[in-house]
Structure 1
Amino acid sequence: MNTVRAIRDKLDHARQLLDAGEPTLPELAAATGLSASHLQRQFNARFGLSPAQYLAQRKLGTLRSALREGSDVSAALYDAGYGSPSRIYESGAAKLGMTPARYRAGGEGEQIRWSIADTALGQALVATTERGVCMIELGEDADALEAKLRDEFPRAALERVDVGRDEFLAPRVREVADALAGKQVHVPVDLIGTAFQKKVWDALMKIPRGQTRSYSQIAVELGAPQGARAVASACAHNRVAVVVPCHRVVRSDGSLGGYRWGLPMKQRVLERERAA
């Protein structure tokens, strides 16, 4: 057990190094004390992608955020660390998702399959790319849930799949339903955000089920004691409800604070986890 924990700590350290810079695989291996091949295998098993793919997603996340905020494409590319427009393709990042122009155009060219399932806490829309779950929406109105998906990806190729009829999507729908029932789950996700947002989301996933932390506590944990508002913003930008458990973050006084799906839903999810 201690050996497993030690390896996990080393993998988390490798991930932190990738969030902070652009280390090579040999540099990561040297920093963690693992062989390059062992690090590659273990990192992929823990995070669902190789260190190089993780770095590409991190840079792509920075790029996407800048584009979403209206930045010039060329400036956003350089700020994300690509050096030149062609580098986004040379680095392999283009294989992980949309080109900058597609993303800015509402996801044009992206293939997304989705279903709506009945769960212990109402209906849940689960949408996936080939990389994992990219969006979860909760609510009681199926049409409203679909509208939110189409608003997020207005020009993507969206394919609705009957629950249980897609070998990739079906198990992920079941996992989300289990999460809403308060169970422990491990769901492959397609999380792309800024380095700070991913640090927040990672911190959220480490909070034990049924427990909570304040926005300020998370900020301190991440080395940004004045960053409670930034933590709250990262929670607000979480598009993978429950799997990335922003419901476990509350105000310093213990009150629930905000939640994209409403405070009653936040309370119900927490109660389910505590009961489980």
Structure 2
Amino acid sequence: MPANQSYHFNVMRRAIELIDEGGSGMTLDRLAGEMGMSAAHFQRLFSGWVGVSPKRYQQYLTLGHAKSLLSARHTMLEAADGAGLSGTGRLHDLFLRWEAMSPGDFARKGAGLTVYWGWFDSPFGPALVMGTDKGICGIGFAAEAGEEATMTDLRSRWPQADFVQDEDRLRPWALEAFCAERTNPTPLYLIGAPFQIKVWEALLAIPSGHVTTYSEIAQAIGHPKAVRAVGTAVGRNPISLLIPCHRALRKSGGLGGYHWGLPVKRGILAWESARAEAG
């Protein structure tokens, strides 16, 4: 990505950390001072990145934001279920196309599969992107776990695969994945057990700026009593952000868990809500 884009992402990551730590007491002047900028310059930079002011973004970062989304019935799986979960083609506001590995291939734990990997900047910290010839098969965020743990985590999903570092091969897909306005299809290659893939397909039906619950996902895939199993499958989603497991919440409105850390989940939900409002 362009150098200035990377710079903006790095600045915003630090700003989000400060907002998260300081809460409502983190005024614009104080925040800008911590960043070594004037208030006017920082506000322009921040608003250009997320689409709303730092003060408005602070409201999205509060723990009550997830509950407000649910209380406003921003859930979408009922409508998606009625239309049928499609599988391929354009999915709501995302330009994605995907296919799934066969159960037999999955059982071989990646044997005979070449997985390319590379590190990229993202709005939510360093991101490890993995992909096959067919599309992205993994995205992990290292802001909380660290790069070594993130690499170990994703490699363990397909222990028999051959892993090859190749940023150039993955860069076009990574740029699309982390672009706020996607213009080209981003191919995904889902590597999981059949039940997991059904859950991930349901997640793909949730538009940006909306959320759902684990129980609604269970209903949508035809297993209403499998809420716990759904939660496990959501947590095992290997393609963060593009398969939006961050949009799955507890029925109470609690954030639940997030494989790459709750601060990252809160940041993504706030960023998406801000972008939806700005749009």
| TM-score bucket of the superposed structures, by smaller chain | 0.5 to 0.7
Residue 207 (structure 2) aligns with? 208
CA distance in structure 1 between the aligned counterparts of 2:214 and 2:124, rounded to whole angstroms: 25
| Higher RCO (C-alpha under 8 Å, 6+ residues apart) | 2
Change (3 A) 1:258 1:158: same
Q: What is the one-letter code of the residue matched to 1:198?
A: I
Q: What is the one-letter code of the residue matched to 2:166?
A: V
Give the SS at the match of 1:189. strand
Contact 1:238 1:244 in 2 (8 A): yes
Do residues 224 (structure 1) and 233 (structure 2) align?
no
CA distance in structure 1 between the aligned counterparts of 2:164 and 2:261, rounded to whole angstroms: 27
Do residues 240 (structure 1) and 243 (structure 2) align?
no
Give the SS at the match of 2:218. helix
CA distance in structure 2 between the aligned counterparts of 1:229 and 1:47, rounded to whole angstroms: 28
Contact 2:96 2:185 in 1 (8 A): no
After TM superposition, where is structure 1 displaced by more than 6 Å over at least 4 residues in a row? Answer: 182-185
CA distance in structure 2 between the aligned counterparts of 1:131 and 1:138, rounded to whole angstroms: 22
CA distance in structure 1 between the aligned counterparts of 2:196 and 2:158, rounded to whole angstroms: 20
Q: How far 1:183 moved relative to its partner? A: 6.5
Q: What is the one-letter code of the residue matched to 2:272?
A: E
Counterparts in 2 of 1:46-61, with a 5 A limit?
A: 47-48=97-98, 57=101, 60-61=102-103
CA distance in structure 2 between the aligned counterparts of 1:247 and 1:172, rounded to whole angstroms: 20
Give the SS at the match of 1:171. helix
CA distance in structure 1 between the aligned counterparts of 2:268 and 2:184, rounded to whole angstroms: 14
Give the SS at the match of 2:121. strand
TM-score, normalisation: structure 2: 0.58
Q: Percent identity?
A: 35
Count matched residues.
Answer: 185
**In the alignment, which of 130, 139, 146 is matched to residue 151 of structure 2?**
146
Contact 1:259 1:266 in 2 (8 A): yes
Residue 255 (structure 1) aligns with? 254
Contact 1:214 1:251 in 2 (8 A): yes
Change (3 A) 1:264 1:120: same
Q: What is the one-letter code of the residue matched to 1:133?
A: I
Residue 130 (structure 1) aligns with? 133
Contact 1:126 1:137 in 2 (8 A): yes
Change (3 A) 1:183 1:253: farther
Contact 1:64 1:193 in 2 (8 A): no
Moved more, 230-239 or 151-160: 151-160
Residue 115 (structure 1) aligns with? 118
- Unmatched segments (≥5 aa) in structure 1: 1-8, 17-44, 68-99
Counterparts in 2 of 1:1-276, with a 5 A limit?
A: 12=86, 47-48=97-98, 57=101, 60-61=102-103, 63=104, 67=107, 100=108, 103=109, 107-140=110-143, 141-162=146-167, 165-166=168-169, 169-178=170-179, 186-276=185-275
Q: CA offsets per residue over residues 36-94 of structure 1, 9 Å max, x none? A: xxxxxxxxx98556xxxx6xx4xx23x466x4xxxxxxxxxxxxxxxxxxxxxxxxxxx
- Unmatched segments (≥5 aa) in structure 2: 1-82, 89-94
Change (3 A) 1:265 1:11: closer
